[in-house]
Chains A and B, each alone.
Chain A
Amino acid sequence: MSIIILIVAVSILIAGGFLIAFLWGVKDGQFDDNYAPPNRMLFDDTQKIKKIKK
């Protein structure tokens, strides 16, 4: 029956992984600004328009 203890330990580890991911996200400011990052992602790095001649 000690398999139960093992399962419990593994499950806590997995859940702990998610917890750490969440705390990391909070610390990194993922929840501070929910407009800039999704929009920033869409900007093309090489987006350049040639100069329009006068």
Chain B
Amino acid sequence: MKNNTLLTVDITTCFHCGEECSNKKIAIAKKYFCCSGCKMVYEILNQNELCAYYDLNKNPGIAQKIKVRADKFEFLEDPTIAQKLISFTDGKQTQITFYLPQMHCSSCLWLLENINKINKGVVSSRVNFTQKEAFIIFDNAQTNLRLVVETLTAIGYEPHISLQDISTNKVNRSSNNRLYKIGIAGFCFANIMMMSFPEYFSIGGYLEKEIGIALRYFIVALSLPVVFYCASEFFVIAWKGLRNKFLNIDLPIALAISITFLRSIYEIVSHTGAGYFDSMSGIVFLMLVGRLVQDKTYRSISFDRDFKSFFPIAVKVLQGERFRAIAVDKIKVNDVIQIHSNELIPVDAILSKGKAEIDYSFVSGESLPVYKDVGEIVYAGGKQLGGMLEMIVVKEVSQSYLTNLWNKDIFKNEKQSDSTIHTLSKYFTIIVLLIGAIAAGYWYSYGATQLMWNALTTILIVACPCALLLSSTFTNGNILRILSKNKFYLRHPDVIEDLSRIDHIVFDKTGTLTQNKKVKVTYEGVELSNEQRSSVVGLLAQSAHPLSRIIHEHLGECNSDEIVSFKTVIGKGIEGWINEQHIKIGSDSFVQNKKTIEGIESEGSSVFIKIDDTVLGVFKIKNSYRYGFTEVIQQLKSKYKLSVLSGDNGDEAAYLQSVLGSETELLFHQQSEEKLEYIEHLQTVKHANVLMLGDGLNDSGALRQSNVGIALTEGTNNFTPASDGILDASQFSNLYQFITFAQFGRKIIISSFVLSIVYNVIGLYFAIQGTLSPLVAAILMPTSSLTIILITYGMSEYGAYKQGLK
């Protein structure tokens, strides 16, 4: 009992980052820290009287366990690199925007805006929290770019600087245009509506004629900005579509707007009526709002990352006697480069010094690091886990294996799909044009030309598929909002529809079905005595095989006796003599001298231990699968075909097959191109609509090729390959619900379209007879739009509730 209470008290969390501290050694004035990095940040803040950082939020910091190399930012002193990063300089002051993905709370905001207390050269600092950016102006006389970046890094906010920052031009992300348009359209709409009231209610001739005419001209003036400015995007998109021989929904809308406008002008000039300006500006306003709701972007998430945003901006290159930081794109063949621990290798190169322990999981999907010795070639894209390396460059960045992979055509083609609303609007337009022609022909045959024109134009006005546009934009907008609340971010509203059509789901294994960098080691057999344990550890220490490393780590450090002799058999295991005992560690066939029985039980890799002549037990190393993995598969299995593509070895094939079912295809050792080809095969031969889930650079081709490619990530700050959507790994268990919800979304759009047809039929009933008065139009328009907006909102909320989404 006493022990228990002691234990709970004993858990101390880091004052800076809130992580659990392993001991109380690192402390200042009863404040404990998990690592010296965190303590250092605290010291800096304390020195500069910035400890309010800790008062605003509890443990607001970011863990500082991985130290940043002191000369990491040396490359920022290179003026050509610096010039590409800064946004403006006049020689005295420099302005620059940093992307700081660590930003997460109001403490971050406060600290970053008070950065000038630490670095006196900073003139001002302003944070844009939604974009996770800090706009900093600094004084060139007092500080420089490198010092500013180092100040930020010292307090735990290392700016993300990648090759992409210098190779692409900064895109102006101002999306304010639509807000301007909505503001102006709303203003004009409301005033036109108000000025139209006297007209509607002046049946008994209340209004004096002059005033009535004056008001009409006011209305015309107010409608001009609506047509020529606010509605301009409909005309532009329609024209673009026409040029590409693609009939999009904007075309009938643009047609309807222009005909309504012309006809209304005619009515006013010829004193035959008041026109439909109020309905027209109202619909433009609502459609713009719909598009705004639908196109709401997630500014801090980028869907278009290519390998460049993962690459470092500079690498140390040997020049004369010492290494200097050089921009990556300036590296030439035969240069000698230096790669530090935890850095990405940007070029294909031959190892000339050091021991490479490279994590290729990102490029190839292999879960275990690869070991390379001096003289071996190392391909770009791997991350060095061990110590420092020196390498001789064989291929420049622009020609490396990885870059070639990226330059395949698939990455250059824009995906284009024929969505439901475009197809529906196509038929809709054709049918309406037919009705118009018939009605016009009918009146013409009676010789009523005036009535004929009247009927034709009003039919075209009614024919505007605005209700269709409204229903799809508001439905999509709300679905996107609900999905993003559930940490599933889609690049474009069209993805919802693509998602609703899929019938085949392809998974990547490493990092997608399994958790990144997490393996489960279990031991079965006779418990090892301390002496045996230390012997095993001693022998394992001699082996560089990834599995030995994992078991070694699992068993922990032990003092072992001297190893007399040992022998490694590549691909099998290791044996040796310690303490006059013969120890064998390795695969089943190696240890037991018998043929391997192709594992029915084998779930993952097994490593057997034999001391002298007895097999003591077996270590089983399994990937740990994501939370809810089996449940999700059970749900998906009944409705969709499934496949697994893995760049990893087939150790876990048996386990996966048992969960996924015998019909599921499992492919291992898949290269990036093979994955892409497999998806292509599914699409062309089996006519499948493929959903691909992946996480690494090796999946990027396949993600791009599939109908819907979704990248899984364990934190939206992490970098994900280009994809149609980003799904937070914690929400993986909701995958089935997400797809069902997307399908429900399509049902909402279609049913509200049916409703809008009912409204259109009512409108057409008046229009064919040539009696669609502005009053009828003014009543019909808002009722139809409002009911559709309410219905789409209500139904999508209900759909989310039914799927158990937030």
The answer to whether B218 and A26 touch across the interface, beta carbons within 8 angstroms, is: no
Residues A4 and B198 in contact in the complex (CB < 8 Å), given A23-B180, A26-B183: yes
A8 close to B215 (CB less than 8 A): yes
Q: Which residues of B have CB within 8 Å of A51?
A: 46-47, 49
B51 partner residues in chain A, CB cutoff 8 A = 49, 52
Contact with B along A1-22 (1 / 0, CB 8 A): 1101100100110011011001
- Whether B190 lies near A48 (C-beta < 8 A) is no
Contacting pair B187 A33 (CB below 8 A): no
Query: Is the CB of B797 closer than 8 A to any CB of chain A?
Result: no
Candidates B49, B113, B130; contact of A33 at CB < 8 Å:
B130
Chain B residues near A11 (CB, 8 Å)?
A: 191, 194
Interface membership of B28, Cβ < 8 A: yes
Give the tally of cross-chain contacts (CB within 8 A): 79
Minimum CB–CB distance from A38 to chain B (whole Å) comes to 9
CB-CB < 8 A to B184: which residues of A? Answer: 19, 23
Q: Complex Cα distance A15/B52, Å? A: 44
Q: Is B129 a contact of A8 with CB atoms below 8 Å?
A: no
- A53-B211 contact in complex given A4-B198, A19-B184, A40-B113, C-beta closer than 8 Å: no
Q: Does the CB pair A49–B49 fall under 8 Å? A: yes
Q: Chain A residues with Cβ under 8 A from B109's Cβ?
A: 35-36, 39-40
- Please measure, in the bound complex, the distance between the C-alpha atom of A51 and the C-alpha atom of B541, giving whole angstroms: 48
Q: How far is the CA of A23 from the CA of B184 in the complex (A)?
A: 9
Bound-complex Cα distance A32 to B799 (A): 30
Q: Is B110 an interface residue (CB 8 A)?
A: yes
Complex: chain A residue closest to B176, CB-CB: A26
Question: What mask results when residues 88 to 121 of chain B are scored 1 for a CB within 8 Å of chain A, else 0?
Answer: 0000000000000000001001100100000000
Q: Is B127 an interface residue (CB 8 A)?
A: yes
Contact B183 A19 (CB under 8 A): yes
Chain B residue with Cβ nearest A19: B187
User: With A and B bound together, what is the CA distance between A32 and B299 in angstroms?
Assistant: 10
Known: A49-B49, A51-B46. A1 touches B211 (CB 8 A): yes
Contacting A27 at CB < 8 Å: which of B55, B176, B190?
B176
Contact A35 B129 (CB under 8 A): yes
Note all chain A residues with C-beta closer than 8 A to B176: 26-27, 31
Asked if B191 and A33 make an inter-chain contact with CB atoms under 8 angstroms apart, the answer reads: no
A36 lies within 8 A of B194 (CB): no
Shortest distance between the CB of A4 and any CB in chain B (Å): 6
Interface members, chain B 163-201 (any A CB < 8 Å)? 176, 179-180, 183-184, 187, 190-191, 194-195, 198
Residues of A within 8 A of B569 (CB): none
A11–B197 Cα distance when bound, in Å, is 14
Q: Are the CB atoms of A22 and B183 closer together than 8 Å?
A: yes
A46 → chain B closest CB, angstroms: 10
Which residues of chain A have C-beta atoms less than 8 A from B191's C-beta?
11-12, 15
For the complex, what is the distance from the CA of A48 to the CA of B278, rounded to whole Å? Answer: 57
Residues of A within 8 A of B (CB): 1-2, 4-5, 8, 11-12, 15-16, 18-19, 22-23, 26-27, 31-36, 39-40, 42-44, 47-54
26 contacts across the A-B interface (CB closer than 8 A)? A4-B198, A4-B211, A5-B211, A5-B214, A15-B187, A15-B191, A16-B187, A19-B184, A23-B183, A26-B179, A26-B180, A31-B179, A32-B131, A33-B130, A34-B130, A36-B128, A39-B110, A40-B109, A43-B56, A48-B52, A49-B52, A49-B55, A50-B49, A51-B49, A52-B28, A54-B28
